[in-house]
Structure 1
Amino acid sequence: MPLMVIGVGRATLRIAGARSLKDKRRVLKSLLTRLHNRFNVAAAEVGLHDRHREAEIGIACVSTAGSHADSILAAILEFLQIQGDIELIDYHTELF
């Protein structure tokens, strides 16, 4: 049976331009769609739902190699750092 590796990332973001939860949801929806389309990962808001200037997102990928899952999560970190509409506050990953 082939090895299956699950890579999980959790990012805490600041959305400085958000004046309401509606603004936050708009920014997050766009970001989550870009993550899915660019990296073929599952991504969702997982925390800080009631704060309009902060968000916590979870990201998951499945691979047959830990190095591949790790490289995907590292590329996502770089991608999040260059986004103009958010500020990356914290990011950590785990492989299972």
Structure 2
Amino acid sequence: MNVYVGIQECEGRIIGSTSLKEKRRVIKSGISRIQHRFNLSVAEVGFQDDRQRTRLAMAGVGSSKKVVEQELRQALRLLEELDGLEILHAELSFV
């Protein structure tokens, strides 16, 4: 049996954020939506102290590479549609 672990990393800009509190509100909203909608782990993994930038990572595990990839891509689309967040770069990989 094959096990696939997919990781989606993305860098983004928090639009109009003037404080870490505003940034965290936007990030928490995105993380919460992903966790409730998809079977993925997600966390902010970079730029925690920068009020206008973020690096998020999402991970999924499954027996089908296609299913894991599809969930990660849908989660990225959700982030792209999130008010206040502009995704600048995203990279999907399997380990």
TM-score band, normalised by shorter chain: over 0.9
Letter in 2 for 1:47: G
The normalised TM-score by structure 1 is 0.91
SS at match of 1:19: coil
Q: Which moved more, 1:54-63 or 1:67-76?
A: 67-76
User: Which ranges in structure 1 are unaligned for 5 or more consecutive residues?
Assistant: none
Alpha-carbon distance in 2 for matches of 1:59, 1:50? 20
Specify the code of the residue in structure 2 equivalent to 1:68: V
Match of 1:64 in 2: 63
Q: Structure 2 stretches of 5 or more lacking a match?
A: none
Instruction: State the identity as a percent.
Output: 29
Q: Which moved more, 1:59-68 or 1:76-85?
A: 76-85
TM-score (ref. length: structure 2): 0.92
The structure 1 segments of at least 4 consecutive aligned residues displaced by more than 2 Å after TM superposition are none
Correspondence for 1:41: 40
Residue 82 of structure 1 is matched in structure 2 by 81
SS of equivalent to 2:11: strand
Q: SS where residue 77 of structure 1 aligns?
A: helix
Q: Aligned pair count? A: 95
Q: 1:75 offset after TM fit, Å? A: 1.2
